[in-house]
């Protein structure tokens, strides 16, 4: 960057009477995105769109309830999320931080609230001395922040604990059980975070900021300052509005920059009054590629080289694989195994019995039941007094049942047959190959 002494204000390209209209500001657009993200952040756990239920060892993803035993799908889901984050970082830099990150959203919201309260108190109680007004403002802000912290901690913990459970704990002011202690600790941490830390977290310990430094390359979206004609008037408004307290004129690759574009708005607004376009803007990579309308659409969304296309293909592959895996999983899992501690039993009437054991796991949110039938075993029947086995959502039941055959039915020794399970209401049927053992024929003398 040129030194201040070297900089000579450039002649405005238009007169003050005919100022250029600054482009639509990014800040209000970003605030709308923040509001939408806040709503999404609050509803995700309540509709089980993403939630890791630690006590029940379940992972909820897009409404699917995945059991910890379905590790392959959970792993696939987490890999998909990780690839998505990596792709966003490579294409759009720290755009996530400025537009979608809860830490940034709430840090900015509470900073603005604090400022709003301070201004209101100063205006309304102008007769009070400065110190009293400051203390009153801080007390009101901390009370509101504490209530907000309880709410945010509640939503955050709902990602790990069933929300209805959590409401009960909150109502009973439970700070004794593990869930209650976690809630109280998270509330305290949230309060301290948004009272004293805020964006300092993003500048110091946030791992995503450092990860971004590794993933960004020469075509990643950046907020950049370009001033070949030395038009900067050194008003420093771009520095004053920056939530990360940096000067974008020191370079585009500053790790603290969250690509919020507040400096873009500031510079556009200041220089528009002088009839000069702003000097800061979003750019793909370190080279200013201008705003030509001839840029193809895929370049406009960041697909600027083969590496990015490959990344998109990998993401699509993952998304497709994940959808297929989710659609193929059995909501009601049935496992059948023979009980061979005794090969067979012969009852008083001469019928031969083989015992089997079924474990039924209902991984769906609805009540279900399972019906069994047997095939390819002539003269045999399935002896299950209940007829159908009901299973509550999230429950796992074990039943033993007999397959009974008339002595004149299956041949002696090992007979192959199948047991079919049909679960309702999903109507999913599955066939299990089994063996039925009849008494072996006596060897001829």
In angstroms, rounded to a whole number, what is the distance separating the alpha carbons of residues 220 and 88? 10
Closest CB to ligand SF4 among residues 248, 437: 248
Other C-beta atoms within 10 Å of 228: how many? 9
Using a CB cutoff of 8 Å and minimum separation of 24, what contacts does 334-338 make?
334/358, 334/359, 334/360, 334/361, 334/370, 334/421, 334/423, 334/430, 335/359, 335/360, 335/361, 336/419, 336/421, 336/432, 336/434, 338/434, 338/435
How near is the Cβ of 227 to ligand SF4 at its closest, in Å?
7
Closest CB to ligand SF4 among residues 266, 404: 266
How near is the Cβ of 248 to ligand SF4 at its closest, in Å?
4
Q: Pick from 94, 335, 93: which is nearest to 219 by CA?
A: 93
Closest CB to ligand SF4 among residues 154, 225: 225
In angstroms, rounded to a whole number, what is the distance separating the alpha carbons of residues 355 and 404? 9
How near is the Cβ of 288 to ligand SF4 at its closest, in Å?
14
Closest CB to ligand SF4 among residues 158, 232: 232
Tokens of 404: 């009974």
How near is the Cβ of 300 to ligand SF4 at its closest, in Å?
20
The conformation of residue 248, written as its DSSP 8-state character, comes to G
Closest CB to ligand SF4 among residues 262, 422: 262
Closest CB to ligand SF4 among residues 233, 371: 233
How near is the Cβ of 87 to ligand SF4 at its closest, in Å?
21
Residues 6+ apart with CB under 8 A from 325: 72, 73, 76
Q: Which residues lie near ligand SF4 (CB under 6 A)?
A: 223, 232-238, 241-242, 244, 246, 248-249, 257-263, 266-267, 270-271, 279-280
How near is the Cβ of 239 to ligand SF4 at its closest, in Å?
7
In angstroms, rounded to a whole number, what is the distance separating the alpha carbons of residues 331 and 304? 42
């Amino acid at each position: 960057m040129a030194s201040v002494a070297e900089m000579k204000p450039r002649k405005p390209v238009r007169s003050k009477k005919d100022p250029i209209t600054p482009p639509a500001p990014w800040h209000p657009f970003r605030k709308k995105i923040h509001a939408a993200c806040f709503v999404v952040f609050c509803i995700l756990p309540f509709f089980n769109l993403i939630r890791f239920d630690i006590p029940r060892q379940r992972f909820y993803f897009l409404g699917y309830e995945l059991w910890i035993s379905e590790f392959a799908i959970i792993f696939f889901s987490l890999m998909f999320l990780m690839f998505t984050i990596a792709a966003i970082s490579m294409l759009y830099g720290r755009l996530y931080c400025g537009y979608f990150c809860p830490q940034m959203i709430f840090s900015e919201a509470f900073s603005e609230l604090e400022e709003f309260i301070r201004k209101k108190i100063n205006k309304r109680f102008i007769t009070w001395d400065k110190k009293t007004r400051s203390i009153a403002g801080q007390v009101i802000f901390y009370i509101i922040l504490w209530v907000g912290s309880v709410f945010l901690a509640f939503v955050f913990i709902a990602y790990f604990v069933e929300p209805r459970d959590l409401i009960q704990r909150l109502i009973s002011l439970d700070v004794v059980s593990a869930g209650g202690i976690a809630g109280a600790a998270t509330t305290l941490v949230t309060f301290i975070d948004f009272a004293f830390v805020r964006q300092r977290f993003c500048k110091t310990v946030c791992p995503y900021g450092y990860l971004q430094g590794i993933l960004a390359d020469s075509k990643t979206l950046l907020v950049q300052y370009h001033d070949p004609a030395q038009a900067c008037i050194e008003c420093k408004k771009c520095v004053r509005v920056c939530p990360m307290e940096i000067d974008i004129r020191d370079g585009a690759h500053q790790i603290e920059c969250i690509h919020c574009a507040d400096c873009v708005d500031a510079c556009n607004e200041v220089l528009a009054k002088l009839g000069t376009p702003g000097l800061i803007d979003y750019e793909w990579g370190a080279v200013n590629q201008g705003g030509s309308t001839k840029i193809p659409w895929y370049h406009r969304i960041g697909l600027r080289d083969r590496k990015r296309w490959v990344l998109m293909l990998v993401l699509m592959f993952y998304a497709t694989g994940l959808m297929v895996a989710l659609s193929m999983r059995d909501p009601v899992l049935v496992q059948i195994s023979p009980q061979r501690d005794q090969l067979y039993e012969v009852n008083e009437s001469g019928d031969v019995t083989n015992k089997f054991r079924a474990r039924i796991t209902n991984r769906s949110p609805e009540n279900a039941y399972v019906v069994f039938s047997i095939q390819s075993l002539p003269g045999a029947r399935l002896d299950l007094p209940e007829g159908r086995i009901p299973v509550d959502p999230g429950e796992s039941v074990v039943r033993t049942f007999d397959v009974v055959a008339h002595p004149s039915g299956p041949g002696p020794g090992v007979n192959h047959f199948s047991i079919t399970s049909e679960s309702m209401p999903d109507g999913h049927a599955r066939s299990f190959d089994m063996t039925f053992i009849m008494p072996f024929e006596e060897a001829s003398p």
